Structure 1
């Protein structure tokens, strides 16, 4: 028998997923299900100050909420993580409830690591950054302390952070991303509330939806694909491409149905993305984001498109399946993505992000030093010339 590459599937620790629910109404029962009585809430500043949603949650839970913070900076600064972890510890919280997008959920994962490891200063926390597996395809935790606290996630965006144990908060001192794989860092439960997403600006839903789309494409076009993960990714990609434009289309009769389908796309994406290595576009946002002061999701739009061009002809069977799933079998895959981004009014070039050539030049060294940017790319990106070549594709639409 010919040698067959072994496949692995990684279960990421979720115990319950509640889809198409009212999170305010469902959360008390979810907390009771797991025996939680003291919740520390971490939410975005916008959801707290620009809507009445957190007020409704506080009225519903009452004294069960023992602490709350909306001090969550973009990219989850370590200073915010450490402060909130100490607050949750001092409040004797037995669970963290996140209400927000990727920065909020990432912060909660890092808070879990602080509490489990009793690591409440920058140096102690940074010692816990992930290591690579021997074959370089998987991120492994360096923490082996039992989880002292878990997270229940109520996402307000579409980028799939709720599906991984990975947290990448920014180090305030270096402006570099720290990289943690948190034991039991994936939320214990996820509550998908499409009505809550109506509180999120459509432009943010679009950009984070594209980030989720980028995750799904990296899964489907992985250097070491898994058939189950690819099947889920293909379905996710079709849902994203179909339903993201509907979120601001007045002719669509049921906006909640479109939001529900987009949340379903994040579920499909999340179920597979940790099981296969991702390539350039997934990781380069961790350089462009902090160095350029760019939101991850906006950077993902540009890098997703550049990667599709870079891989043209290298992943033709995968691209053919994706074109078929989307219903545009005769159009180049990068052209489909470009059309979607233009329709959504999202950036397609590094120039659209407001970056200069000098700024991008300064990112080359950190990108080459990053443990994952130059690994696991179907079309190799291994040196400065390769990196500059793929980034050149990101300068033009």
Structure 2
């Protein structure tokens, strides 16, 4: 069996009210003077954190690098970073923590308080938008956060559609990690269980949007989904989504809703054994089951709804072509149009 690697944040706190442990975690990490990285939509909610930052850094969707650069300057004098929000805030905070590393190269301690199911807090990688408006990324072991606080009470402030669409993003992580090349036995077990749990718990979150216990179940499933972050993030649905997401203002969770069923259909003839296992776990044809789940959650299913047409998709397919021919990628995009 070829070698493989696995990493996860060392400390993960679970459940409603778990953010109350934030002061103790900051003390443990010797980071009581911290900079907070969040989004504009959450600025009014930062008072719900039990301790105040020395600086607050606001990051937009897809983490524009110009804002990250500003955040690096704003974090001067801070001994740690707390991210509060979804993938954009968490990824930006990871980059800031590494760029504020001390003379010995040690990144600033980083505690993530996620409010979506994107699972960015679980990866030693970070995405951002470059000056041309295209999605880019970086990898560094120091990007892995030091602690995570999955507080379902804070997650309740996340709009339901955003919560559910990032749940499909977690499903995308699980599917693409399972379909990745090579041997990854631990990930396979976790990914299949994540798929079972997401199919079970996401509809219940929609039916009972005020149930914190269900949101914690969603968070556990998302945690299970992302034990092979590098391979998942390099999967076809992810890369096709990144190609159009930042450029056209489509959130990552939504790109997974738009593309994942069609990517599964494209890959099924190329890896029939793997896709058959997914179908068995989902209880039917895998692509149809994913598409049915997305429809049942009333999430977006058509790229055209975001003002993107065939010319833009043709450009995206041409730029992404390599492992797969541009014509195949374009057909997959157009199936989602």
User: If the TM-score is normalised by the length of the shorter chain, which range does it land in?
Assistant: over 0.9
Conserved 8 A contact 2:180-2:231: no
Per the normalisation by structure 2, the TM-score is 0.93
Matches within 5 A, 1:205-220: 205-220=163-178
Conserved 8 A contact 1:116-1:147: yes
Matched, 1:99 2:84: yes
SS in 1 for 2:303: coil
**1:108 equivalent in structure 2:** 93
Query: Matched residues in 2 for 1:297 and 1:161: separation?
Result: 12
Shift of 1:227: 1.0
Shift of 1:305: 1.1
Per the normalisation by structure 1, the TM-score is 0.79
**1:288 equivalent in structure 2:** 244
**1:155 equivalent in structure 2:** 114
> How large is the Cα RMSD of the aligned pairs?
2.1
Per-residue CA deviation, residues 104-137 of structure 1 (Å, 9 max, x unaligned), is 001111212322399xxxxxxxxxxxxxxxxxxx
Shift of the 201–110 alpha-carbon distance from structure 1 to 2, 3 Å rule, reads: same
**Structure with larger Rg:** 1
Q: Gaps (5+ residues) in structure 2?
A: none
Conserved 8 A contact 1:213-1:240: yes
Query: Matched residues in 1 for 2:102 and 2:149: separation?
Result: 27
Matched, 1:357 2:315: no
**1:343 equivalent in structure 2:** 296
Shift of 1:248: 2.2
Conserved 8 A contact 1:105-1:161: yes
Shift of 1:246: 1.2
Shift of the 278–154 alpha-carbon distance from structure 1 to 2, 3 Å rule, reads: same
Matched, 1:6 2:2: yes
Shift of the 353–341 alpha-carbon distance from structure 1 to 2, 3 Å rule, reads: farther
Query: Matched residues in 2 for 1:230 and 1:307: separation?
Result: 19
Runs of 4 or more, structure 1, over 4 Å off, are none
**2:286 equivalent in structure 1:** 333
Count of aligned pairs: 337
Of residues 204, 219, 223, the one that matches 2:181 is 223
Matched, 1:265 2:255: no
Per-residue CA deviation, residues 356-396 of structure 1 (Å, 9 max, x unaligned), is 1122122233323xxxxx44xxxxx1x2222223223323x
Matched, 1:305 2:279: no
Query: Matched residues in 1 for 2:150 and 2:233: separation?
Result: 26
* Greater per-residue helix proportion: 2
**1:55 equivalent in structure 2:** 47
SS in 2 for 1:169: strand
**2:272 equivalent in structure 1:** 316
Conserved 8 A contact 1:82-1:114: no
Query: Matched residues in 2 for 1:40 and 1:299: separation?
Result: 30
Shift of the 325–332 alpha-carbon distance from structure 1 to 2, 3 Å rule, reads: closer
Query: Matched residues in 1 for 2:201 and 2:162: separation?
Result: 15
Q: Gaps (5+ residues) in structure 1?
A: 119-144, 369-373, 376-380
